[in-house]
Chain A
Amino acid sequence: MILAQNLVMIAYYVVSAYLTAVLIRNFVQEKKSLDEAVLILIVLIPLVLRLLRIK
């Protein structure tokens, strides 16, 4: 049970890290819309705080 729970937790961290990487890539590649770029940054906040195990 503990192993299964830990595996799911690790999977969620991997998904969070993947989404963070994709969002950072999109932010860097965004050349037209400043609104899009700011939106990406805002979406990044909870993911980064979770990956750093702060909140």
Chain B
Amino acid sequence: MSRITVWKIFFAAFIAFLMVASAIPFYEMRHFRVPVVAGPGVTKVIKLSHFLPNLQGTAADTDVFYLEGQEPGGKVLVMADTHSNEPEGLLAALIMIENAVVEKGTLIVIPVFNHSGSIDTKPGDGYMLYYNIPTPWGPKKFRYGNRDASPLDVWPDPDVYIHYPDRQLLSYIDIRNTNRTWPGRPNGPLMERVTYAAMELMRREKVDIAIDLHGAETMFPVTNCIVAPQKSSRLATRASIYVKAREGFDNHVETSPVGFRGLSHREIGDYSDTLPFLLEAPIPFLDQPTGPKTEKLLLDGKDPFLLSLSKKKKLFVPYDESGWPMDKRVGQHSSVMLEIIFQYSKKSPQRAILIQNVPRYAELVKNGTGYYLHDPAKADKSRLHRI
């Protein structure tokens, strides 16, 4: 055997080892499922493919939790993990699923709206694959997903994504972004089918309010806010004022731009009778000029570089040594959602939605998010779901 052949065998074995070592964590993350304990209010769990059968069997199909009250009333849809690297929405949605009791009307929750994105990670940014939320029974492990669907499920990307039906030219990657593919179509690319299925859900169920939970960089102007089109702006403004007055945190209102297509806060309102709202919480982890992208930064939101930028007035939110912790972000989402639902119920009593047992901002900041998540090991197996 020649010398070069020996070296070739050595390097082939070394590269094979590297490939296997790097592939195992990605493979495990793609197949890891988060246990969710359906709380006392959950009356049924179905798949999104119920509203569009061609989603069945794809990585984009996802669980839809129904919490139906004894009394008829209005309906609210909560969507989280539209962007799976913005986890405060998922946590706020899980707190609802595991705790909420609906007395009147129906609460529908899709905790992982872009399921394909949630089983992928963002290349190049050094994201960790998982994060843990401390709970009284130990840390609860979650996947830290990506903003866009996995290329394993939607590939290849086009040069330019042409939005349907407006034909607006969007970035190539937006074909995998479930907040650019609204209102979708039944035979379109995978993410258009996801949004179309959600539109079908809203149309068939006659959903009154749709809330899409997000997070955004502190250096991005549309952060710490409620984004609403004109038809929802009155309710959004009332919710914003009331959370400020009663709970002491800012959450201003941003108007949904008419000329920017594909976003939930634009298309849901234009293509259905539902009133859309998109909530943005500030996530320091997503800002570019931070230190290492660690689990700690994700959870406590403390970063010295952002602090320095804050002193130079470069951020769009107040920022000090206390950072912007996860519990505060989850608490804001929870309170703003409850306030929008309350304000809508006040305005339309015949379509009221009464939800009990969901913690608000002050309780979440005091007790922590994990306090409201239940131990799957102690749960009745029939109430256990994996998302």
Contacts and interface: CB of A to CB of B under 8 A. Distances in A.
B188 A1 contact: yes
B156 A12 contact: yes
B15 interface: yes
Interface string B27-46: 10010000000000000000
Count class of interface residues, chain B: 20 to 34
Contacts of A41: 11-12, 15
The interface residues of chain B, by DSSP majority, are classed as: helix
Interface string A1-32: 11001001100100000000000000100111
Contacts of A50: 152
Given A1-B187, A12-B155, A44-B15, A32 B4 contact: yes
B11 A55 contact: no
Interface residues of A, number: 24
Contacts of A31: 2, 4
Nearest to B150: A55
Contacts of B156: 8-9, 12
Given A2-B54, A5-B189, A37-B11, A49 B4 contact: no
Contacts of A42: 15
B8 to A, nearest CB: 5
Nearest to A12: B156
B170 to A, nearest CB: 17
Contacts of A44: 15
The interface residues of chain A, by DSSP majority, are classed as: helix
Contact of B11 (A9, A32, A38): A38
A50 to B, nearest CB: 8
A37 B156 CA distance: 28
Contacts of B185: 1
A50 B54 CA distance: 24
A22 B54 CA distance: 36
A49 B11 contact: no
A53 B152 contact: yes
A48 B19 contact: yes
Nearest to B2: A31
Given A2-B54, A55-B26, A34 B4 contact: yes
A48 B19 CA distance: 9
Contacts of A32: 4
Interface string B262-296: 00000000000000000000000000000000000
Interface of B: 2, 4, 7-8, 11-12, 15, 18-19, 22-23, 26-27, 30, 54, 152, 155-156, 185, 187-189
9 contacts: A1-B187, A1-B188, A9-B155, A27-B8, A31-B2, A37-B7, A37-B8, A41-B15, A55-B23
Interface of A: 1-2, 5, 8-9, 12, 27, 30-32, 34, 37-38, 41-42, 44-45, 48-50, 52-55
